[in-house]
Amino acid sequence: MVQNNEMTYFFKNIVPFIPSKKPIKLLTCKMVLEDEKLDFENYEYKIDDPAYCLHNVFYKVTNCNPRNFLELKEEFKTNLPSDTLNIGIHIRGGDIISRDGNNGREIHEFKYYKDSIHYVLENFCKNKKYILWLCTDDINFQTFKETYKYLIDTNLPVRTGKIVGNQSDYIYDWATLSECDILINSSSTFCVTAGFLGKSDKKIIHSKKWLDKNINHEPWNNNISVTFFSMRPDREYSLIDYRKKYDDFWINILKNNNWYFCNKNI
């Protein structure tokens, strides 16, 4: 069950949150990742942060193809040309350059997108009709501006997602990415989920530079003093250990799991 939010609004057959008379306990990511025994007979559990559902926790507990139980409602679906190779490009700006931005750790540079586009054109697009769908949450982000200029200057068939003109239209960008044949992805769960939902058997590209940062557990930033989930001492993660759990998620998708996968890193 989930709270009444974007899941129930955008997706089919989602059971909304149902109030219970049982005492409520906080369900932390550590409890799931470390297989703590849960007492559903006597307690209801509330996820401390729904964002975990898109990272390592969801990866751990999912035992069947997410397409079997997560489907976008018809009114939000996008019908891409069936006679065309659809190539989705997602550029994450916004939240990785605002606030502390984790020292820009998640920034994907223009070179990654240029090299990935070149790889796709050389390996999949010869003698084929194709469209590049460029989606971003930040049209002022330097990587987006450089990538868009490159696509225009080289006269490649590019279309921008609806969110470029209207931030509230993000679901249509997600729907577009989810139905593409090939994805050139950023580090965002926005495009990661678009990879394992919608059209099956996509080819997905991730940045080797980004994946190496996770493999090497490169520090996010200099803030290492915070302890998470301190409601009970035995459930605490140090901030460093907490971050490593997210690193592990990216390491795992390199193993070509059935639903989270990376066909190529560039």
Cα end-to-end span (Å), the chain: 38
According to the model, what pLDDT value does residue 50 have?
A: 62
Contact 224, 237 (CB under 8 A): no
| Count of Cβ atoms closer than 10 Å to residue 125 Cβ | 17
According to the model, what pLDDT value does residue 30 have?
A: 78
- In the chain the domains, ranked by start, together with CATH numbers, are 6-68 (no CATH), 74-215+245-265 (3.40.50)
Helix (H) or strand (E) holding 265: strand 264-265
According to the model, what pLDDT value does residue 82 have?
A: 94
Burial of 184 from C-beta contacts in 10 A (0-12 / 13-18 / 19+):
buried
Q: What is the DSSP string of 131-178?
A: EEEEEES-TTSHHHHHHHHHHHHTT--EEE-GGGT-GGGHHHHHHHHH
According to the model, what pLDDT value does residue 2 have?
A: 47
Helix (H) or strand (E) holding 253: helix 239-253
What lies within 8 Å, CB to CB, of 114 at 6+ separation is 147, 150
- At residue 214, what are phi and psi to the nearest 5 degrees? -75, -40
Give me 257's structure tokens: 């799991």
pLDDT by residue, tens only, the chain of 266 residues: 445 577 788 999 887 777 888 998 888 777 888 888 999 899 988 876 666 566 778 878 888 888 998 999 999 999 999 999 999 999 987 655 555 556 567 788 999 999 999 999 999 999 999 999 999 888 888 899 999 999 999 999 999 887 665 667 889 999 999 999 999 998 888 888 899 999 999 999 999 998 998 899 887 766 655 555 444 444 556 777 777 878 888 888 887 666 667 788 88
According to the model, what pLDDT value does residue 181 have?
A: 97
Tell me the residue type at 248.
Answer: D
Whole-prediction pTM value? Answer: 0.87
